[in-house]
Amino acid sequence: MQGERYRKSLGLTELVSLGIGGTIGSGIFVVPGIAAGILGPSSLLAWIIVAVSASCVLLSLAWLVQRAGFRESFYTLFSRVFGEHVSAALVILYLVSGILGICTIAAGIGQYLSFFGIGGILFLELLIIGVFCAINLIGITLSGITENILTALKVIPLVVIAVLLLPAIELENLVPLVPLTATGLVSTVLIVYWPFTGFEISAIPVEEMKDPRTVPMALAIVMLIVSGIYLLLNVALIGSVGSTVLAASPAPIATAVGFVFSRSGSIVAVIGIIAMLSALNAYLVGGSRVLHGTAVTRHHSWLEGLNPRGTPTVPLLLISLLSSGALLFSNSFERLAVLSVLATLVPYLFFCIAAFIVIPEIPKRMIAFAGIASSGGLLLLSFLF
């Protein structure tokens, strides 16, 4: 690595923070309103479907990482099963999904900044990407500390918000008002998948982990926390204020809390911005490491170097610049989220296919097959509908 090495400073706490940071971001602060607008209270079914599907993908990835000895990059994990050409295509698609993901997160931050009536949103979104690029250039230690702090500042308040809203639930708000159709369900599942993407970031920075054997545990903890918070929060949101109110707001959690507890919406909006900053930081870490790991394996020397702090400088700058450039073409949260999910589902599908091929145990292969059916089926249905 041209005289420099990664710093092994990431423990279980940092890996869980990166996974939660990459997963709990803009999605949960924006998507509940979009989903409620499509299916009303029936949108809760979409959250359950996606939680099961994402868990199957997560388990498939964990078994692949474990079988490979906890030292493989995404590129080598794929290439062992599908060959170099397919692996390169999958990694490129994953990087595209990450770039679109950063754009989506930035657009979500913009929506919450508009809650305060702030102008010049696009400039601020680009500035935020630049600031977090600089933090990551300083090194993974600072980035990891930042992620731990931001994750704590968003997870604890989200749990508190859900618990505070539970007493305000009215059962009639949970009664379906919109007919459940295949088109509506597919559309809702597709947009709901966005808040669940990003958990795999826990498995990416293997060269910077103190003990890579903690990856499966980190992934499991991430999915348990994320699924629990999402399901509890969506029941509380729809039950307390109703799907119509949620659908009409660009910041549904802030609106719901402000509706039930007066003058508290601004506090929730700040929490939402913190959550999205955490996700943006995690996506920059994940994307730059995937690009760097692939470059090292394929011997692209101009992307291989690390700075004196053990940061892949060129990959990090490239991911940041491409994300900023893409944001200039579209600042629509919903459009960017759908595109990012579609690009992410293909690597997720191939994680499951690889696990089904190389894992001998029948129960594990059944779970991998469930991941294949759910992620592949969603991809197919998204084009049919």
- Which residues, including other chains, have CB under 8 Å from residue 106's CB and lie 6 or more apart? 125, 126, 128, 129, 276, 280, 323, 327
The reported pLDDT for the residue numbered 378 is: 84
Please give the pLDDT value at position 250. Answer: 75
Section 351-357 average pLDDT:
95
Residue 253: predicted pLDDT: 85
349 assigned to some structural domain: yes
What pLDDT is stored for residue 4 in this prediction? 60
Q: Per-residue pLDDT averaged across 236-256, rounded?
A: 86
Q: Are 249 and 241 in contact (CB under 8 A)?
A: no
In this prediction, residues 182-206 reach a mean pLDDT of 87
Angstrom distances, CA of residue 227 to CA of 28, 49, 195, 223: 11, 11, 10, 6
Pair 159, 148: CB distance under 8 Å? no
For the cut 50, the answer to whether the pLDDT of residue 152 exceeds it is: yes
Give the pLDDT score at 371: 93
DSSP secondary structure code for residue 9 in this structure:
-
Structure tokens at 146: 């930042």
Q: Indicate whether 193 pLDDT > 60.
A: yes
The per-residue DSSP string of 291-331 comes to: HHHHHHHHT-HHHH---TTS--HHHHHHHHHHHHHHHHH--
Distance CA 80, CA 72 (A): 10
The percentage of the chain sitting over the pLDDT mark of 70, rounded to a whole number, equals 98
What is the crossing angle of helices 43-67 and 362-384, to 10°?
130
- Considering its fold, how many domains does the chain have in total? 1
Q: 248 or 314: whose pLDDT is higher?
A: 314
Region 117-131 average pLDDT: 89
Alpha helices in 182-312 (DSSP H): 182-196, 215-241, 243-247, 252-260, 265-298, 301-304
Per-residue pLDDT at 59 exceeds 70 = yes
**In the predicted model, what is the mean pLDDT of residues 301-321?**
88
Measure the CA–CA gap between 135 and 78, rounded to whole angstroms.
30
276 occurs within a structural domain:
yes
Query: Residue 1 — very low, low, confident or very high, per pLDDT cuts 50/70/90?
Result: very low
- Residue 270's Cβ-count burial label (10 Å; 0-12, 13-18, 19+) is middle
141 pLDDT above the threshold of 90: no
Whether the pLDDT of residue 334 is over 80: the answer is no
Q: Which residue has the higher pLDDT, 55 or 300?
A: 55
Rounded mean pLDDT of 26-49?
89
Amino acid, res. 311: T
Is there a domain that residue 68 lies in? yes
User: In the predicted model, what is the mean pLDDT of the chain?
Assistant: 88
Nearest CA to 189 out of 95, 306, 54 is that of 54
Amino acid in the structure at residue 319? I
The pLDDT of 166-180, averaged and rounded, is 86
Task: pLDDT band for 230, please (50, 70, 90 cuts).
Answer: very high
- Distances, alpha carbon 366 to alpha carbons 54, 158, 370, in Å: 15, 34, 6
Query: How far is the C-alpha of 88 from the C-alpha of 71, rounded, in Å?
Result: 18
333/218: higher pLDDT: 218
pLDDT tens-digit map of 62-86: 999 888 887 778 888 899 899 999 9
Kindly tell me if the per-residue pLDDT of 116 is higher than 80. no
Predicted local distance difference test score (pLDDT) of residue 3: 44
Strand partners, 209: 10
Quick one: pLDDT band at residue 299, thresholds 50, 70, 90? confident
pLDDT of residue 323: 94
Find the domain containing 53 and state its range: 12-384
Rounded to an integer, what distance in angstroms lies between the CA atom of residue 254 and that of residue 272? Answer: 8
Query: Can you state the percent helix, strand and coil of the chain, rounding each to 5?
Result: 80, 0, 15
CATH number of the domain encompassing residue 377: 1.20.1740.10
DSSP 175: S
Residue 231 has pLDDT above 70, yes or no: yes
Q: Which of 258-262, 273-277, 306-310, 362-366 has the lowest mean pLDDT?
A: 258-262
- Collapsed DSSP state (helix, strand, coil) of residue 219: helix
* CA–CA separation, 136 and 114 (whole Å): 27
pLDDT score, position 260? 75
Which of these, 131, 128, 121, lies nearest to 333 by C-alpha position?
121
Q: Is the pLDDT of residue 2 over 60?
A: no
More confident residue, 258 or 265: 258
Rounded to two decimals, the pTM is 0.87
- Cβ neighbours around 353 below 10 Å, total: 20
With respect to residue 2, please indicate whether it lies within any of the assigned structural domains: no
Over range 312-334, report the average pLDDT. Answer: 90
Of 108, 99, 98, 102, give the one whose Cα is nearest residue 28. 108
pLDDT of residue 87: 93
pLDDT (average), residues 307-335? 88
Q: How distant, in Å, are the alpha carbons of 27, 45, 49, 54 from that of 184? A: 19, 12, 14, 20
The fraction of the chain above a pLDDT of 90, given in percent, is: 40
